Structure 1
């Protein structure tokens, strides 16, 4: 049975293979794998982590915010059922308040969007610079111009 690999490890493997076929010396390839690819993988995993928590907390807030008014508006004559409903409503309202507070404190939504935008910038803007070798030529040119 084939082992299931995560998308981040698959992405890292694919990018590593792309780096290997570039016309770069071993030091430059090692630099790209140890710094650029490592940072890119970290950004991707942190963005996914923040996105997951943002969606969980927001969904709890939204769904709970819709259910609570419905529970409050119920008019039940059975005292045991009414008491259970009161405690259910109280518990759900606390869960909604806590999820909103945690999301506000940790800013998972803003963190996810920020990390995702940096990740996309690195892939779309910086990757071509690295991969077409002009980055290393640019560094050499900067050294010459600074003299």
Structure 2
């Protein structure tokens, strides 16, 4: 009996992320106002965003972002974890910690679809960085709200 209880607590601890923001699925009565929809490339992971405008939007040229995205920079929009709701597929996610090169859900980490491997977000301790190229921005006004406001100085063109 004690062994079974310990196993359940262990499993519950492993799966506790499913009950916390940003992975917790909001109930219909919680008044989550979905302003934007987004999905990974294959569509297995779908999510909604409630905040009209990101807290910030940036282009990052650090070598980690260049390597992880196989591109000269990463475009990211910063949100609170409560601003996202997974409509589908939050069980189809996997994590990667570039610091320890681990696939454990350890913060901060990179989050992607386990099927098509589209990067979904970077999850920090308090915030998330979503990738606007996955968000269905329908109007010019919406696109303007997500326009990068800051370019991190670690550019591929710097000589440092």
TM band (smaller chain): under 0.3
Higher strand share: 2
State the structure with more CA Rg.
Answer: 1
TM-score norm. by structure 1 comes to: 0.25
Higher helix share: 1
